[in-house]
Amino acid sequence: MTTPAGPFPPDGFLLIAHRGDNRNFPENTLAAFEGALAAGADMVELDVALSADGRPVVIHDDTLDRTTSGAGRVSARTLAEIEALDAGSWFSPRFSGERAPTLEAVFRRMGGRIRINVEIKKEAAKTAGPFPDVCGQVAGLIRQHGLAGSVLVSCFDDAVLADFRRIAPEIAIGVLSDRPETPGEVLGRMEAVKAASYHQNAALLTRGVVEALHPRGLRVLAWTGRRENTWEALKKALECGADGFFADDPGPMRKLLDGWREKNAGRA
């Protein structure tokens, strides 16, 4: 089995809008994804959970409390109940009425316009019920919308990724990490699921890991916590040789990235 190339350009650095442009719009909403595109992001990242009736919904938390007008577990509410909730007012009254979209709605709106990274939440993968599993549904929607070459699927759980690889050998996947790992450990995880990319916390990223993966055609993407999402973190990712960075505020990061490129091109 070969490793799918995925939505990676032959060269260049991907600026990835984390949950969309989440500094200026309510995260994981269509407004945030449109905002990310307008801000110059190369890719949007989003999170998928399952409703009580087994529909893939774009939301980060296992519960509705933080980012909607509802409460309780996402998996305990039907899609109709979730779609009736306000997912914008918590961020600003200006976004009153914004909804938590389905994955299908995001693909319809954004597919073909920007690359998309779908993170499958571990909770969604464990949701039981008389419905198709989340991996099968995500793969089916990617195929239905003809997005196999522009969508990257990631997860912190390697067992979920292995299941997705079995279901969809043609779609690129990314291994997520939030712990120190040696190059050998990283390569072992990626080889086991035929992953195209490794997504590591920028604070833990090392040049050694990047140098071990690049000769094999594998990519490295750096992410951070919200408070650490700074120019210093982006600069470290660039200096380590990473291939992308998850930005909370893609507009200013785009300008900083372009400035860094221009400065370094002038030195060459």
Whether 199 is a known active-site residue: answer no
Per-residue confidence (pLDDT) for residue 265, from 0 to 100? 76
Structure tokens at 57: 């919904």
Write down how long the chain is: 268
Reported confidence tier of residue 131, pLDDT bands at 50, 70, 90: low
What proportions of the chain, in percent to the nearest 5, are helix, strand and coil?
A: 40, 20, 40
CA 171 – CA 148 distance, rounded (Å): 5
Domain range list for the chain: 14-61+102-267
Residue 130 has pLDDT above 60, yes or no: no
144-194, pLDDT tens digit by residue? 999 999 999 999 999 999 999 999 999 999 999 999 999 999 999 999 999
The answer to which of 3-17, 107-121, 123-137 has the lowest mean pLDDT is 123-137
Q: Is 214 a catalytic residue?
A: no
The phi and psi torsions of 73 (rounded to 5 degrees) equal -70, 140
- Give the separation between CA 173 and CA 175, rounded to whole angstroms: 7
Residue (of 200, 171, 177, 185) closest to 107 by Cα position: 171
| pLDDT tens digits, one per residue of 41-79 | 999 999 999 999 999 999 999 999 999 999 999 999 999
Alpha helices, DSSP H only, in 26-130?
30-38, 79-83, 103-110, 122-126
Q: Are 74 and 82 in contact (CB under 8 A)?
A: yes
Task: Name which of 27-36, 204-213, 242-251, 256-265 the model is least confident about.
Answer: 256-265
Q: Per the CATH hierarchy, to which homologous superfamily does domain 14-61+102-267 belong?
A: Phosphatidylinositol (PI) phosphodiesterase (3.20.20.190)
Q: Which of 60, 145, 199, 214 is catalytic?
A: 60
| pLDDT of 212 above 70 | yes
* pLDDT for position 268: 46
Looking at residue 133, what is its pLDDT? Answer: 87
pLDDT at 122: 80
